[in-house]
Amino acid sequence: MILSIESSCDDSSIAVTEISTKKLLFYKKISQESEHAKYGGVVPELASRLHAVTLPKILEETKEYFGSLKAVAVTNEPGLGVTLMEGVAMAKSLASMLELQLIAVNHLKAHIYSLFIEKESFFPFLALLVSGGHTMILRVESYEKIAILATTMDDSIGESYDKCAKMMHLGYPGGPVIEALAIEGDRDRFNFPIPLINSPLIAFSLSGLKNAVRLQIEALGGAENLTMQDKRDIAASFQKTIIAHLMQKSNKIFEREKIEDFAIVGGVAANRAINDAFDTLCKKHNKRLHSVALQYCSDNAAMVGRYALDAYGKKDFCEISKIESIVSKKDKNRKLL
Ligand code: KG4
Ligand code: ZN
């Protein structure tokens, strides 16, 4: 069995996966969302302190598996340095105490493998990875071979949902609340510019949209003066613009890439409207759309464990003294290539 640990941001999670059957034997996640909501975003030091309390509590529940473990896997990058440290420290102790192999897991690759927690793996495929930290389209050919086809030049999509919600004092995380408000809103009330619409670049950019939303809120008298309908209409117009941006750039990639399977992974993959738009785009290009079970879209240790199964098969192990957690930097994405 492999025990896996996730602490890259504000979710403390541990899973145990059986190597021979690929079955998830144990899975638990404690989210800190409500603790961070009052600050409108994740406070790294608070997140780190909460991991230090919750991870050992969850670990207690996995003791019955300790005798059967062959490896311990942990997310070591990218993410918040101080929170990654909590998981990495626990994994190092377990590996050395129980004499286990140690597997270092890239968080983005774990999101990609979330696709295979409940179904057989398949390759190759194109993937849209959309989370709080990343927005990219990837060509996934195998465990070893992943290429970035497009990435964001500034903010990520999840981050822009979070900021849009924060500007309207709607708490954190912003994705689910903006999506829910958008259902009741008039998406044509505000005409936010579609990013990079006239640019030949195959890339994403969300910072201009964020600014347009900020200016619109100011024009309506500031967050305190928004009516409920204003908030719904801003949410709907914002989401419509995000979807138009995603469709325009993805369409260009779909015209070029002949691979027939396409998947959406990461926290934002929970968004119904984005899924529906890709469903239509995939039909137009004769591609099959794959989605991740809702409970595994956001950060979790089950996907870390699923990735670790393949790493274990390939003996992709890491020395205890060499594993490092690395603070997220935009150019760290390049490590995937
Ligand atoms: O993958 P994830 O759990 O953490 C990171 O790796 O960043 O993604 C979290 C992000 C947050 O920004 C959150 O607002 C967004 O996913 N999110 C959504 C939805 N549910 C979560 N964004 C749009 N629509 C949703 N339904
Ligand atoms: Zn994530």
Q: Which domains does the chain have, with CATH numbers?
A: 2-117+298-333 (3.30.420.40), 125-291 (3.30.420.40)
3-state secondary structure of 185: coil
Nearest to 192 by CA among 126, 143, 236, 144: 236
pLDDT at 336: 45
Residue-level pLDDT, tens digit, the chain, 337 residues? 999 999 999 999 999 999 999 999 999 999 999 999 888 889 999 999 999 999 999 999 999 999 999 999 999 999 999 999 999 999 999 999 999 999 999 999 999 999 999 999 999 999 999 999 999 999 999 999 999 999 999 999 999 999 999 999 999 999 999 999 999 999 999 999 999 999 999 999 999 999 999 999 999 999 999 999 999 999 999 999 999 999 999 999 999 999 999 999 999 999 999 999 999 999 999 999 999 999 999 999 999 999 999 999 999 999 999 998 766 554 444 444 3
Note whether 164 and 235 are within 8 A (CB).
Answer: yes
Cα 317 to averaged position of ligand 1 atoms, centre (Å): 30
Q: Name the residue with the closest Cα to ligand 1, atom 22.
A: 175
- Residue closest via CA to ligand 1's atom 14 equals 175
Q: Tell me the residues surrounding ligand 2 (ion) with CB < 5 Å.
A: 131, 299
Rounded to the nearest angstrom, the distance between the alpha carbon of 134 and the centre of ligand 1 is 10
* DSSP codes, 261-297: EEEEESGGGG-HHHHHHHHHHHHHTT-EEEE--GGGT
What tens digit of pLDDT does each residue of 4-42 get? 999 999 999 999 999 999 999 999 999 999 999 888 889
Taking the CA of residue 165 as reference, the ligand 1 atom at the shortest distance is 14
Instruction: State the burial class of residue 106 (Cβ atoms within 10 Å of its Cβ: 0-12, 13-18, 19+).
Output: buried
H helical segments located in the chain: 33-37, 44-60, 81-97, 107-113, 157-167, 174-183, 207-219, 228-256, 272-284, 301-313
Helix-strand-coil split of the chain, %, nearest 5:
50, 20, 35
Ligand 2 center from residue 300 Cα (angstroms)? 8
For the CA of 299, the closest atom of ligand 1 is 3
For residue 325, the SS3 value is coil
Which of these, 65, 56, 62, lies nearest to 89 by C-alpha position? 56
- Tokens standing for 18? 């059986």
Pocket test for ligand 1, best of 77, 109, 131, 264 (most atoms within 8 A of CB): 131
Neighbours of 219 (CB within 10 A): 9
For ligand 1, residues with CB inside 6 Å are 9, 131-133, 158-159, 161-162, 173-176, 179, 266-268, 270-271, 298-299
* C-beta neighbour count of 166 within 10 angstroms: 17
Residue 213 sits at φ, ψ, to 5 deg, of -65, -40
Residue nearest to atom 23 of ligand 1 (CA): 175
Residue type, 248: Q
Ligand 1 centroid – CA 63 distance (Å): 31
Pocket probe mutation, ligand 1, options 8, 179, 268, 292, max atoms within 8 Å of Cβ: 268
Closest CA relative to residue 30, chosen from 15, 44, 41: 15
Determine what percent of the chain is predicted with pLDDT higher than 90.
Answer: 94
Q: How many CB atoms lie within 10 A of CB 80?
A: 23
Asked if 236 and 181 touch (Cβ cutoff 8 Å), the reply is yes
CA-156 nearest atom, ligand 1: 12
* Protein residue with its CA nearest to atom 1 in ligand 1: 267
Please give the Cα distance from 1 to 228 (Å, whole number). Answer: 50
Length of the chain: 337
Identify the bridge partners of residue 291 per DSSP, sorted by sequence position. 264
pLDDT of 185: 98
* b/e per residue 25-57 (b: at least 16 CB within 10 A): bbbbbbbbeebbeeebbbbbebbbbbbbebbee
